[in-house]
Chain A
Amino acid sequence: GNSVTQMEGPVTLSEEAFLTINCTYTATGYPSLFWYVQYPGEGLQLLLKATKADDKGSNKGFEATYRKETTSFHLEKGSVQVSDSAVYFCALSELGQNFVFGPGTRLSVLP
């Protein structure tokens, strides 16, 4: 079956540091890939997505590129802020089927 693996953290960074959260996936077909963010006590917010190989999703300074050859979708941000502290989930969905989520990565950004 399909699966998603991501670094679980927690990750602690200083403000303005560079962020990378690794995500790799296993899928039988050609899934769409997503990053969701969850703030404490809240639901999921879609951060970015990519639907095919070599697509780059971007939003609010975050970026991720769909790499089919390495089955990866790593999340990056050049300069994190305290307000980016949250849990980040990498996920996939294939042809409108259910989402499969990674374990989540807890990010803490210190001032």
Chain B
Amino acid sequence: GAVVSQHPSWVICKSGTSVKIECRSLDFQATTMFWYRQFPKQSLMLMATSNEGSKATYEQGVEKDKFLINHASLTLSTLTVTSAHPEDSSFYICSARVIGSYEQYFGPGTRLTVT
């Protein structure tokens, strides 16, 4: 079956530093990937839609200059949390849509803790 990986699976960083999270489709190509955030004991909320070769589309209330998204190839999208603060601590999950299809698959998530 289709597999999406995320790296790292967990990361701890200090306040003010930047963290990059990778989302890769391992056995299929994806022109569109979605980034979600899940705070503790809450549901998943869409942050942004990442399209290969173009700028990401951000949901209302998500700072595009803080959460930088780059979708440089058909198998990789990255989310960089810049100048991280403790309130950015969350579980970040991506999903990738199979090119030419409506099928989507989720990555395993990345747990970010900012100290």
CA A44 to CA B44, docked complex, whole Å: 10
Chain B residues with Cβ below 8 Å from A41 are 111
Closest residue of chain A to B9, judged by CB? A43
Contact of A96 among B44, B46, B93, B101 (CB under 8 A): B101
Which of B63-71, B75-83, B102-110 is near enough to bind chain A? B102-110
Chain A residues with Cβ below 8 Å from B51 are none
How many chain A residues touch the partner (CB < 8 A)?
18
- Find out whether the CB atom of A96 lies under 8 angstroms from the CB atom of B97: yes
CA A98 to CA B47, docked complex, whole Å: 10
CA A102 to CA B44, docked complex, whole Å: 8
- B77 CB to closest chain A CB, in angstroms? 14
Contact of B46 among A36, A98, A103 (CB under 8 A): A98
Given contacts A96-B101, A96-B102, contact A104 B93 (CB under 8 A): no
Given A96-B101, A99-B104, 17 more A-B residue pairs with CB atoms under 8 Å apart are: A42-B108, A43-B108, A43-B109, A44-B106, A44-B109, A46-B106, A89-B43, A93-B104, A96-B32, A96-B104, A98-B46, A99-B34, A99-B36, A100-B46, A101-B45, A103-B43, A104-B43
Show the binding face of B for A, using Cβ within 8 Å: 32, 34, 36, 42-46, 49, 93, 95, 97, 101-104, 106-109, 111
